[in-house]
A and B are shown apart, each in its own frame.
Chain A
Amino acid sequence: MNAYTDEIMDHYRHPRNSKFDPRVAYNSTSDMDNPSCGDQIQVKALVLDGYIKDIAFEEIGCALSTASASMLSEMVKGKSVEEVRRMTSDDVVKLLAISISPVRLKCALMPLEAIQKAISSH
C-alpha cells in the first residue's frame, strides 16, 4: 500500500505547527536525530498543569517523519502529559493511516519519541 497518501503529502508540503512562535514561553524542549538517514527534529512545548497547551517542531526530514510530526503536533495539543506519555507506535501508525515498512517505522516514530522526551520532566 502506498504510504504517500494525499494526506501525508499535504502534511509534508504544509507541515502544521512547524515554526516556533516567539510569543510562546515554551518550557519543555527536546532534540533528536536519526543519523542513519540524517533526520533531525527539535520539539518545543508549553506544558501547564499537566496539559500540553502549545507545541511546535522544526525538522529536517523525509516526508514520513515530517508528516508524522505535523499530524502528531495537532493531535497532542490540549492532551494531558500522561496521555501522550502512554502513546505507542500503534497510535502513530493509526494516526498516519498507512502501512509502514519496518525500515520506515523509525522515520515515523521519531517525532513521537521527541515529543515524549520533551515532556518527560513534567
Chain B
Amino acid sequence: MKRSDFPIFQSIPQLNYLDSGATALKPQAVIESLTHYYRDCSSNIHRGLYPISIQASLAYEGARHTVATFIHAADDKEIIFTKGASEGLNLLASSLGKDIHQHDEIICTILEHHSNFVPWQELAARTGASFVVITPTTDIVSFCKTHLTSRTKIVTFPYVSNVTGEVLPVKKLIQQVRKINPLAVCIVDASQAVAHMPVDVQDLDCDYLVFSGHKLYGPTGIGVLYGKQDRLRALPPYQFGGDMIHSVSLEKTSYADIPNKFEAGTPPIGEAIGLAEAIRYVLSVGFDAIAQHDHLLLTHFEKAMHKSIPQLQILQPLFGGPKTSVASFTVPHVHPHDMADLLGQKDICVRAGHHCAQPLHTYLKIPASCRVSFGVYNNTFDIDSFADVLSSICQSFL
C-alpha cells in the first residue's frame, strides 16, 4: 500500500516486517523532520530569544497542537509529552498514588501489557489497596456492574490488546464506570490503537489516555499523556526541575500551569516534531483506508494459516471484541522462539515470547506465543511468504 514511503525497504528490499505492534517503521517524512530539527534549528525551546530557538519552540508547541487535534482533546494544554506510554502510566501511578490508601481499589484487565499492570500492582502493594484484575468470566461491561464499588479509585484498560488484537468497548466501559462510581479515574492505554483507528478522547470521556510515538510511525523516546484539564491541574507533579516551575525561592517553589508542570527538563524536542509529522502521515493515508487494509491483511492471514498450517492456533479475543491488526498464535511442538529465530533468518520479522503480557499467557496456560502485527507497508505477499516459510519450519519440526 505505502511501501515506497519507507526508506528501510531501499536498504533491505527483502525485509518482511511483521512486528509493527512492537514498533512501526518510519516513513521518509518523519526521518526528514528529525533531520530538519537537528540540522536546521537545533536549539532549546521556551526561553531562547533568537531565531532558531523561536523556530524550535513554535515547532514543539505546534506538535502539541497536532497531537491535541489528532485525539480530539479540548485544549492543547491537555497534552503532556512523555518518553512513551510506559512513562505516562508510571507518571499516573506515581502522582495518582498520592491519593490511594488502604481499602481503595485499582482495577485493570488480564489483557494488560506489563506497562499498564506492574505500576498499579506496585502502587497497590505500596499502599495496601486492592488490585483487581478482570478476567473474562463474564462480559467485561457486566463485570463493571458487579465488581465496581465506591472504593474503586482507578480503572484502567487497553484500547486494543497487544496479544489478541481485540478492541475493547472502551466508551461503554467508561459509561458503566461513571454510572457506578463517578469519581473513579478512567485510564486508557491506547498504544496499540492510535495507528489503526481514530481516537476521540472527548467521545470516550476518559480521564487519561496514553500512547507511544514509535508505534505510530514516529520516533522512539516520545509519547503522549492526555488528561482532562481539571484532572491534570489537581494532579501533583511527577518530576521536578527546570521548565516545570512558576517561581523558585529559598523557602518554596510554585509550579507552572499544565502542561509544563509535567515536563521537567529539556523535552525530546526533535522527537515531538517527528511525532507530529508521523500523525500527518497517518492522516494522509486515512483511517478508513488503514481499517480496510488491516481487515484485508488479517482475513488473508487467517485464511493462509488455516490452509498452510492447519494445526496453528490463533489466540482468540477473550472479551469477544472485534480484532484489529495483531494476531498471536502457537503451533503444537514448535516453540515460538524456534519459529521466530528461523523466520528471522529469512528476514521475516515476528515477535516471540509473552509480549510483555505474562499474566495473560499464564491465564491462557501457554508459556509463550508468536505474534505478527501489521503496518501500512505490509501486503498479502508478505503474509504468503511468511506462511510458506513457517509451513516448512513446522514440517521440519515434525
- What is the interface of chain A, defined by CB distance below 8 A to chain B? 2-4, 9, 35-40, 60-64, 101, 104, 107
List the 10 shortest-distance A-B pairs measured between CB atoms, nearest first.
Answer: A38-B367, A62-B335, A38-B368, A62-B337, A63-B338, A62-B338, A37-B337, A37-B353, A37-B368, A36-B353
Q: How far is the CA of A86 from the CA of B250 in the complex (A)?
A: 59
Among A2, A3, A36, A107, point to the contact of B354 (Cβ < 8 A): A36
Q: Is the interface of A mostly helix, strand, loop or mixed?
A: loop
Q: A3-B341, A62-B337, A63-B397 are in contact. List 9 more A-B contacts (CB 8 A).
A: A2-B345, A9-B396, A36-B353, A37-B353, A38-B366, A39-B367, A62-B338, A63-B338, A101-B341
* CB contact list, B9-57 vs A, under 8 A: none
Q: How far is the CA of A4 from the CA of B344 in the complex (A)?
A: 13
In the complex, chain A residues whose CB is within 8 Å of the CB of B345: 2
Bitwise, B318-357 to A at CB < 8 A (1) or not (0) is 0000000000000000011110011001000000111000
In the complex, chain B residues whose CB is within 8 Å of the CB of A9: 396
With A36-B353, A38-B361, A38-B367 as known contacts, state yes or no: A4 contacts B337, CB within 8 Å: no
Among B336, B353, B358, B396, point to the contact of A4 (Cβ < 8 A): B396
Chain A nearest CB: distance from B260 CB in Å? 38
Does A60 lie within 8 Å of B338, measured CB to CB?
A: no
Does A37 lie within 8 Å of B336, measured CB to CB?
A: yes
* CB contact list, B209-255 vs A, under 8 A: none
In the complex, chain A residues whose CB is within 8 Å of the CB of B342: 4
Chain B nearest CB: distance from A25 CB in Å? 31
Among A3, A60, A64, point to the contact of B367 (Cβ < 8 A): A60
With A4-B396, A9-B396 as known contacts, state yes or no: A37 contacts B367, CB within 8 Å: yes
Chain B nearest CB: distance from A70 CB in Å? 15
Does A64 lie within 8 Å of B338, measured CB to CB?
A: yes
Q: How far is the CA of A37 from the CA of B396 in the complex (A)?
A: 21
Does A63 lie within 8 Å of B354, measured CB to CB?
A: no
* CB contact list, B290-336 vs A, under 8 A: 335-336
With A36-B354, A37-B352 as known contacts, state yes or no: A107 contacts B337, CB within 8 Å: yes
Q: How far is the CA of A9 from the CA of B345 in the complex (A)?
A: 17
Does A104 lie within 8 Å of B341, measured CB to CB?
A: yes
Chain B nearest CB: distance from A7 CB in Å? 14
With A3-B341, A39-B367 as known contacts, state yes or no: A61 contacts B396, CB within 8 Å: no
Q: How far is the CA of A40 from the CA of B362 in the complex (A)?
A: 14
Most chain A beta carbons < 10 A, residue from B358, B361, B367, B397? B367
Does B341 lie within 8 Å of A38, measured CB to CB?
A: no
Instruction: With CB as the reference atom, state the residue of chain A lying closest to B361.
Output: A38
Q: How far is the CA of A60 from the CA of B354 in the complex (A)?
A: 15
Bitwise, B355-392 to A at CB < 8 A (1) or not (0) is 00010010000111000000000000000000000000
With A35-B358, A38-B368, A104-B341 as known contacts, state yes or no: A63 contacts B335, CB within 8 Å: yes
Chain B nearest CB: distance from A3 CB in Å? 7
In the complex, chain B residues whose CB is within 8 Å of the CB of A40: 367
Most chain B beta carbons < 10 A, residue from A9, A62, A64? A62
Instruction: With CB as the reference atom, state the residue of chain A lying closest to B356.
Output: A36
In the complex, chain B residues whose CB is within 8 Å of the CB of A36: 353-354
In the complex, chain B residues whose CB is within 8 Å of the CB of A60: 367
Q: How far is the CA of A110 from the CA of B368 in the complex (A)?
A: 17
Q: 19 A-B Cβ contacts within 8 A?
A: A2-B345, A4-B342, A9-B396, A35-B358, A37-B336, A37-B353, A38-B361, A38-B366, A38-B367, A39-B367, A40-B367, A61-B335, A62-B337, A62-B338, A63-B335, A63-B338, A64-B338, A104-B337, A107-B337
Q: How far is the CA of A37 from the CA of B367 in the complex (A)?
A: 7
Instruction: With CB as the reference atom, state the residue of chain A lying closest to B335.
Output: A62
Q: How far is the CA of A38 from the CA of B360 in the complex (A)?
A: 13
Q: How far is the CA of A2 from the CA of B393 in the complex (A)?
A: 13
* CB contact list, B157-208 vs A, under 8 A: none
Chain B nearest CB: distance from A97 CB in Å? 17
In the complex, chain A residues whose CB is within 8 Å of the CB of B336: 37, 62
Q: How far is the CA of A40 from the CA of B345 in the complex (A)?
A: 25
Q: How far is the CA of A64 from the CA of B342 in the complex (A)?
A: 12
Instruction: With CB as the reference atom, state the residue of chain A lying closest to B344.
Output: A101
Q: How far is the CA of A40 from the CA of B335 in the complex (A)?
A: 13
Q: How far is the CA of A35 from the CA of B367 in the complex (A)?
A: 8
